[in-house]
Amino acid sequence: MSSIRPQGSGPGGACTQSFLSVLEDSAGERLPFIGTVVKQLHKKLQQNNFDQFPEVTSSYSFNPDTEVLAFANTDGNRDQSLKRMAMCIGINYPHSQCPLSGCQNDAESMVKYLASHGFDFSNSDLCKVMIDDGENIEPTKQAIHDGFDWLVKNANSGDNIFISFVSWC
pLDDT, one tens digit per residue, over 140-159 is 999 999 999 999 999 998 88
Of 2 and 15, more confident: 15
63 and 95 part of one domain: no
Closest Cα partner for 139 from 111, 109, 107, 114? Answer: 107
Name residues whose C-beta falls within 8 Å of residue 132's C-beta, 6 or more positions apart in sequence. Answer: 90, 91, 92, 93, 94, 104, 138, 139
Query: Considering the chain, what is the average pLDDT of its residues?
Result: 83
Same-domain check for residues 123 and 157: yes
Q: Which helix (H) or strand (E) holds 161?
A: strand 160-166
Question: Cβ contacts of residue 94 below 8 Å, gap of 6+?
Answer: 132
Q: With respect to residue 31, please indicate whether it lies within any of the assigned structural domains.
A: yes
Q: What residue numbers bound the domain in which 108 lies?
A: 82-169
Asked whether residue 93 falls in the same domain as residue 157, the answer is yes
pLDDT band at 24 (very low <50, low <70, confident <90, very high): confident
Beta-bridge partners for 88: 129, 164
* pLDDT value, residue 43: 92
Residue 1 placed within a domain: no
Which amino acid would we find at residue 36? T
The pLDDT, as a whole number, for residue 4 is 41
160 CB-contact burial (10 Å; exposed 0-12 / middle 13-18 / buried 19+): buried
pLDDT at position 107: 93
One domain for residues 99 and 131: yes
| 53 and 90 inside one domain | no
> Does residue 77 form part of some domain?
no
Is residue 9 very low, low, confident or very high in pLDDT (cuts 50, 70, 90)?
low
> For the chain, how big is the Rg over CA atoms in Å?
16
Tell me: do 61 and 122 sit in the same domain: no
Average pLDDT of 64-88? Answer: 72
Query: Which alpha helices (DSSP H) does the chain contain, by range?
Result: 14-25, 34-47, 103-115, 141-154
Range among 60-64, 68-72, 84-88 with highest mean pLDDT value: 84-88
Would the pTM count as exceeding 0.95?
no
The reply to whether 159 and 95 lie within a common domain is yes
CA–CA separation, 147 and 63 (whole Å): 28
Residue 110 lies in a domain: yes
Quick check: 169 pLDDT over 80? no
- Do 95 and 161 sit in the same domain of this protein? yes
Q: Is residue 152 part of a domain?
A: yes
What is the count of structural domains for the chain? Answer: 2
